[in-house]
Amino acid sequence: MRSRVLRDMRNRASVANNELTRQAYRYITRNETLPARTRHQAQLALNAMSNETAAVHVKNRCLETGRARGVFRDFRLCRFQFRLKALNGELPGVKKASW
């Protein structure tokens, strides 16, 4: 496997592990009924978390090649790999269109 694919898998795992914590801190910081001190502490804790735990930093990459452009989300393959696998019959439920 390529290093970019491995890095992407690691980032996705860290996002999944820290998702609830991030959501809780974000809820506390945006809740205006709470005291300002509590909201500020939650914001500091959120800032202290790694950037890799944010879902924004996850990039869709092809599992075969590591390519970041032209990736189909449902299959997590780039367009060229998708085409090769579809023509070889390796993707269930996918067939060439004809009309």
- The pTM (predicted TM-score) of the whole model is 0.71
Report how far residue 81's alpha carbon sits from residue 16's, in angstroms, rounded to the nearest whole number.
27
Give the model confidence (pLDDT) of 12-62 as tens digits: 999 999 999 999 999 999 999 999 999 999 999 999 998 888 988 888 999
Report how far residue 96's alpha carbon sits from residue 89's, in angstroms, rounded to the nearest whole number.
10
